[in-house]
């Protein structure tokens, strides 16, 4: 059986949240559940999922704003890369989140690093540290799919000129993290970003990696 994958736009900035699930075990994961969402709740109920993980691909407030809500609803473990927890949990960044109208990042249950693996029933997602959009930006890889957060979009890449950025150009070559990874997914992999671009709608947000090269 294939991994359950549902994409839902959530929050005022329309972050794309992914609902993942293992049909055999009913275990699930939410990637960037940026706000309460009836549609996300309906997918969880439809597939009868027990959400085990809430994963933030990075620490920007528009992506983490739903953590407390979904953790209270599901009891899932919240996850972020350690570098983004260190940066976005500072008083300065918490004040910045509040100024933007989002709840600040106050708690994370597990800090991950490159190569860590998160099981979802019979499936496993591998953490790839891809800094640039933020110090601790990550992608999540499972066979056939790469969930890229704001690292990589269809025909574009995430900004690298934000607080905590590692490159000084507005958009670095696609993508600065890739050349120095010791391993990168096969070219046939479909990537699933957390943003739509003008060239795609929600029904066509995925593309294969060769399109980006």
pTM score, two decimals? Answer: 0.82
Give whole-number Cα distances, 43 to 15, 20, 178, 189, in Å: 17, 9, 33, 24
Least confident of 98-102, 169-173, 190-194: 169-173
What pLDDT is attached to residue 192?
83
Residue 4 has pLDDT above 50, yes or no: yes
What pLDDT is attached to residue 161?
52
Look up residue 135 and give its two tokens.
């110090």
Residue 62, SS3 per DSSP: helix
What rounded mean pLDDT belongs to the chain? 81
What pLDDT is attached to residue 184?
67
Look up residue 39 and give its two tokens.
């549609």
| Domain count within the chain | 1
Residue 26 has pLDDT above 90, yes or no: yes
In the chain, the percentage of residues whose pLDDT exceeds 90 is 54
What pLDDT is attached to residue 186?
76
What pLDDT is attached to residue 131?
81
Q: With bands split at pLDDT 50, 70 and 90, how would you rate the model's confidence at 212?
A: very low
- Domain limits at 65? 4-212
pLDDT tens column, 37-86 = 999 999 999 999 999 999 999 888 888 999 999 999 999 999 999 999 99
In the chain, the percentage of residues whose pLDDT exceeds 70 is 74
Residue 125 has pLDDT above 70, yes or no: yes
Sign of CA dihedral 60, 66, 68, 72: negative
Find the CATH number of the domain harbouring 64: 3.60.15.10
Distance (Å, rounded) from C-alpha 31 to C-alpha 204?
18
Tokens 């699933």 locate to: 192
pLDDT tens column, 162-171 = 555 554 434 3
Give whole-number Cα distances, 201 to 9, 27, 76, 174, in Å: 11, 28, 29, 21
Residue 179 has pLDDT above 50, yes or no: no
What pLDDT is attached to residue 63?
82
């Amino acid at each position: 059986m294939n991994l359950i994958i549902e994409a839902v736009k959530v929050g005022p900035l329309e972050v794309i949240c992914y609902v993942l699930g293992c049909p055999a075990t009913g275990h699930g994961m939410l990637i960037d559940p940026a706000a309460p969402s009836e549609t996300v709740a309906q997918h969880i109920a439809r597939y009868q999922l027990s959400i085990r993980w809430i994963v933030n691909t990075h620490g920007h407030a528009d992506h983490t704003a739903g953590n407390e809500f979904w953790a209270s609803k599901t009891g899932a473990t919240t996850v972020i890369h350690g570098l983004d927890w260190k940066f976005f949990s500072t008083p300065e960044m918490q004040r910045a989140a509040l100024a933007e109208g989002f709840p600040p990042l106050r708690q994370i249950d597990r800090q991950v690093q490159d190569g860590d693996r998160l099981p979802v029933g019979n499936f496993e997602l591998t953490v790839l540290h891809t800094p640039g959009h933020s110090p601790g930006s990550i992608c999540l890889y499972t066979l056939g799919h790469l969930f890229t957060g704001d690292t990589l979009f269809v025909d574009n890449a995430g900004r690298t000129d934000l607080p905590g950025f590692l490159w000084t150009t507005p958009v670095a070559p696609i993508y600065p993290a890739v050349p120095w990874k010791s391993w990168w997914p096969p070219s046939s992999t479909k990537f699933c970003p957390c943003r739509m671009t003008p060239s795609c709608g929600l029904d066509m947000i995925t593309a294969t990696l060769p399109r980006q090269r």
